[in-house]
Amino acid sequence: MPDSGIVKYLVRLKFEVDGVVERADVIGAIFGQTEGLFGPEMNLNELQKTWKVGRIEINLESKNDKTRGEVIVPMSTDIGTAALIAAAVESVDKVGPCSARFNLGGIDDVRANKRKQIVDRAKLIVRDWSSKTSSEGENVLKDVTDSTKRARVINYGLENLPAGPGVYSSELVYLVEGRADVVLFLRAGIENVVALEGTSVPDSIIELGKKKRLIAVLDGDRGGDLIEKELAQVVRVEKVFRAPAGKEVEDLTPIDVINMLKAERLETSPASSRREKAPDRPQERPQEEDEPVVVKTRELYPNLNGTLEAILLDQGLQEVGRFPISELVQKMEGSNGAHFLIFDGIVTQRLVETAVRVGVKGIIGHRTGELNNVPDDVRIGTFRDLGLE
């Protein structure tokens, strides 16, 4: 097959010769018997010299004293000239001393084939691009929805106590009074929670207290008082938070719960303060960033909020990168000198782990998800903490 990249048409002719001939015989017949038919400028020799006709291909086979085959003439002329040459070759009636018959098989438009290849390739490019764009969009949406997705209530222990799935994986567990309180905690994104389901402390909770840190969040009524006293007698609880007087925990909003657990200024109950102080442990959520970072965050926030973008800052608070949060983990892993991350998203455990690997020491986002392992030297804050929301 000739190189079709420099031609417009391929003229294909079938031939049959009454005798045994070679390729050179067929070529000679074609050039010799078409020469001078339409003037010197239409001779095949001249057309080849001006690159209007390419190298003519001959494919043949001899059998039973007959030779059959195909002639392929590549041409870069207009279709009229290609048709004229095809008709001229059809007029060849002898190859050497043997009678011959040439018939046009067809004229292939090479450009049409090339156009089809280009169009097919363009379709593949668009499909790949659409798939990649869709995938990136789905990843962003998945990151957002996963961080806000409400976990289901599970059963814990032999008593089948209502709980969140984090009761197994977290080293800190919140004790609440009933199933409705567990549901409220899950709505707030807090999965390390389990309900007591009564004033008598279940054996599963007593065993849990031997392995994990416990913090109680109880109603602000007489029932809460009784449960607090019961807990103090049978299990070690680091801290007890109480709903406002006369209110139950389930009457609070998810934001109320988050603020209650984060606010260090809240008083703990007298019973919990009388008990032995719990040993020092890593903070579940580090303190706010140093003041220069807070100032920088307030400066960046108006143009960052709602963009689904992230900004990396070096130790001198100079911007070293800005990109969509869909690329956040990848970009952080390839960053150099990043010290702070300010981004329009939710701080997850996976994000913290990546940040620690690349040396990031401070992260500020819209809110935090469930964080089970935050190094002491990594500080995490939210825009709400800074009074920006």
Beta partners for residue 58, in sequence order:
71
The tens-digit pLDDT sequence of the chain (389 residues) is: 444 446 889 999 999 999 999 999 999 999 988 888 877 778 888 888 888 888 899 999 999 999 999 999 999 888 888 899 999 999 999 998 899 999 999 998 888 878 888 888 888 887 777 656 555 555 655 555 555 455 789 999 999 999 999 999 889 999 999 999 999 999 888 899 999 998 789 999 999 999 999 999 999 988 888 999 889 888 989 889 999 988 899 999 988 888 888 753 343 333 333 333 333 333 333 344 657 888 899 999 999 988 888 999 998 899 988 988 878 888 888 888 889 999 988 888 888 888 888 889 999 998 887 777 888 888 888 888 788 86
Q: Exposed, middle or buried by CB within 10 Å (0-12, 13-18, 19+), for 13?
A: buried
Q: What is the pTM of this model?
A: 0.36
Structure tokens at 85: 């040459």
Identify the structural domains of the chain with CATH numbers, from first to last.
7-112 (3.30.70.3250), 154-274 (3.40.1360.10), 291-382 (3.40.140.20)
Quote the CA–CA distance of 148 and 142 in Å, as a whole number.
10
167 phi, psi to nearest 5 deg: -65, -25
